[in-house]
Amino acid sequence: MIEIVPAFLVESEKEFEKNLRAVEKDCRLIQVDVLDGSLFPNTSWYHPERIGALKTNVEMELHLMVENPLPIIEEWKKYVPTLTRAIVHTEMHRPSGVVTGYIKDMLRLEAGIALNPESPLSEIESVLHQVDQLTIMSVHPGYQGQTFGDSPHGGDAEFIFNKIRSARAHRCDLIIEIDGGVTQELIEPLVKAGVNRLCIGSALFKTKDPSKTLKDLNLYLNSLSYE
Tell me the pLDDT tens digit for each residue of 172-205: 999 999 998 899 999 999 999 999 999 999 899 9
pLDDT beyond 90 at 148: no
Tell me the pLDDT tens digit for each residue of 210-225: 999 999 999 999 998 6
pLDDT at 99: 95
CA–CA gap between residue 199 and residue 4 (Å, rounded) = 6
pLDDT beyond 80 at 153: no
pLDDT at 102: 97
pLDDT at 126: 87
pLDDT beyond 80 at 77: yes
Tell me the pLDDT tens digit for each residue of 100-115: 999 999 999 999 999 9
- One-letter identity of residue 68: N
Q: Band of the pLDDT at 136, cuts 50, 70, 90?
A: very high
pLDDT at 150: 65
In terms of pTM, does the model score above 0.95? no
Asked if 12 and 46 touch (Cβ cutoff 8 Å), the reply is no
pLDDT at 144: 65
pLDDT at 133: 97
Tell me the pLDDT tens digit for each residue of 8-44: 999 999 999 999 999 999 999 999 999 999 988 889 9
Out of 3.30.530.20, 3.30.70.1290, 3.20.20.70, 3.10.400.10, which CATH number does the structure's domain 3-223 have? 3.20.20.70
Provide the phi-psi class of 180: left if phi over 0, else alpha when psi is between -120 and 50, else beta. left
Domain ranges across the chain: 3-223
pLDDT at 152: 63
Asked if 201 and 144 touch (Cβ cutoff 8 Å), the reply is yes
CA–CA gap between residue 189 and residue 142 (Å, rounded) = 25
